[in-house]
Each structure stands twice: as C-alpha cells, then as structure tokens.
Structure 1
Amino acid sequence: MHYGSKGWYVSELKKLGVRRHEERKLESYKKHFLANLLEKHSK
C-alpha cells in the first residue's frame, strides 16, 4: 500500500478505531475526505 493512497488512509483510520463515519463505511468516501478525517482524528 502506498503512502497517501485511499487504502492507506482507510487503514490508518482503522488503526485509530474509526470504522464508520455518519453510518457509512470508510471505503465509500473519496480520498480527499478521508485525508481530512484522518487529520481531524489524529489530533
């Protein structure tokens, strides 16, 4: 998995315990949204 890819963002969020956002699975979101979500949860 490449750093910065959609799969990388999904795996990093799952490491933090985030599996869903607003009742939707992470895999259904676009990469730029996942990047913002990771930034929000990593603080």
Structure 2
Amino acid sequence: MSLTDSSKVTSLMKLNVISEDKIKDTYFVKKVTLLQVDKI
C-alpha cells in the first residue's frame, strides 16, 4: 500500500481535476497548534 502525496491532491483539487466530494471520505483533518518565537 502506498501513501498519497497530499500536495499533489491539493493541487488537483485547486485545478478542478478532482472534486472534494469524490474524495471526502478518504481523508481526515488534523488541527495543529503552532507557536513561533522570534529572536530579537
């Protein structure tokens, strides 16, 4: 079994090659909290 390249899938969706409705049950959304610290 191989993994999909999410960036390629996203690109195909933006180009309307595939619709989100067709793949809606094939992925899940994971929320990630990000903390960024800038040094001065």
Bin of the TM-score, shorter chain as denominator length: 0.3 to 0.5
Structure of greater Rg = 2
Q: TM-score, normalised by structure 1?
A: 0.32
Q: What TM-score, normalized to structure 2?
A: 0.34
Q: Higher relative contact order at CA 8 Å, sep ≥6: structure 1 or structure 2?
A: 1
